[in-house]
Chain A
Amino acid sequence: MENLVWNPGQFIYNLKYMGVGMLGVFIIVGIIIAATYATNKITNNLAKRRREREESRD
Chain B
Amino acid sequence: MDIFLKLFEGVLGFAEPDSWKMIIMWIIGGTLIYLAIKKEMEPTLLLPIGFGAILMNFPNTGIAGPLETLYNAGIAYELFPLILFIGIGAMIDFGPLLNNPKLMLFGAAAQFGIFFTLCMASMFFPEAKDYASISIIGAADGPTSIVVANALKSNYVAAITVAAYSYMALVPIIQPPVIRALTTKEERRIRMAYKQTSVSKTTKILFPIIISIVACIFVPDAASLIGFLMFGNLIRECGVLDSLSDTAQKVLANLVTIFLGITIAFNMTAAKFLNLETLLIMGLGLIAFIFDTAGGVLFAKLYNVLAKIFKWERINPMIGAAGISAFPMAGRIVHKMALEEDNQNFILMHSIGVNVSGQIASVIAGTLVLGFFL
Contact = CB atoms under 8 A, between A and B. Distances in A.
Interface stretch (B47-55, B113-121, B166-174, B236-244): B113-121
B123 A32 contact: no
A7 B214 contact: no
A31 B210 CA distance: 10
Interface of A: 1, 3-8, 10-11, 13-15, 17-18, 20-22, 24-33, 35-37, 39-40, 43-44, 46-47
B207 A36 contact: yes
A35 B210 contact: yes
A33 B280 contact: no
Contacts of A8: 123
B122 A21 contact: no
Contacts, number: 124
Chain B CB within 10 A, most for which of A22, A31, A37: A22
A33 B124 contact: no
Nearest to A18: B115
A25 to B, nearest CB: 5
A25 B111 contact: yes
Nearest to B200: A43
A11 B71 CA distance: 33
Given A11-B123, A44-B200, A29 B107 contact: yes
B98 A36 contact: yes
Given A24-B368, A39-B206, A1 B123 contact: no
Interface stretch (B38-46, B81-89, B357-365): B357-365
